[in-house]
Amino acid sequence: MSLPIFPRSGDKNTCHLREAVTKPNIEVGEYTYYHDFEDPLRFQERNVLYHYPVNNDKLVIGKFCSIAHGAKFLFNGGNHRQASCVNYPFAIFGELWEHELHIADSWDNKGDIVIGNDVWIGFEALIMAGVTIGDGARIGSRSIVTRDVPAYAVVAGAPAKQVKRRFPDEDVALLEKLRWWDWPEERIKRDLHLLMGDVAALRQALGE
């Protein structure tokens, strides 16, 4: 389904991110938006960094995510090899050093960045290569996320650490079971008052 690139009339700072992304190694779910005080349409150039095709790594972002200004995703091309005796990436400069090393030998490949559904990523947060963030998580402003974040966790700091879980285990289990982000648009509209309320009211309305 194609959505309007700008979801709010007169607001050119907030865009539906899937409609603004063209690179094949970036996948974004429906209704996920990015807000930028300058130009949100330049997200894939300015916010997805060191993302070189030679690595075949992906940025995967789920549905209904909220991404604040300046949030960045730092990929494997920025990770110089830890096992090498030197930090200097000689493999990048093959012509200068007259070698035939593969350019990707300059860095460690930690894999994709995978963001779940309904994730909130705060102002200028930094997500590192290889990280998976679970559904419903919240990433604090200017956090540096170096390891996986569980579903419905709140993390903050540099490096980011879990501050709390948003809900008790039984409520998280209910939300993961419902997967409301996969509901048809008509049902979301009908039950929006429940989704915007607390889990107890949602549980009661659904008879869970």
Alpha-helical regions (H) of 48-183: 94-97, 169-178
Judge if pTM exceeds 0.85: yes
Q: What is the pLDDT of residue 127?
A: 98
The set of residues, in sequence order, having a beta carbon less than 8 Å from that of 61 and lying 6+ positions away, is 17, 26, 27, 28, 29, 32, 67, 115, 119
Catalytic residue among 80, 99, 102, 193: 80
Q: What does the DSSP 8-state code read for residue 80?
A: B
- Whether 16 is catalytic is no
Would you place residue 176 in the very low, low, confident or very high pLDDT band (cuts 50, 70, 90)? very high
151 near 136, Cβ under 8 Å?
Answer: yes
138 near 120, Cβ under 8 Å?
Answer: yes
Q: What is the pLDDT of residue 182?
A: 97
Domain-wise residue ranges, the chain: 14-81+107-166, 168-208
Rounded to whole angstroms, the Cα distance separating 108 from 80 reads 6
| Lowest model confidence (mean pLDDT) among 59-63, 109-113, 115-119, 138-142 | 109-113
**Listed ranges 45-54, 76-85, 93-102; the one with the highest mean pLDDT:** 45-54
Under CATH, which architecture does the 14-81+107-166 domain have?
A: 3 Solenoid (2.160)
What's the rounded mean pLDDT across residues 161-187?
Answer: 96
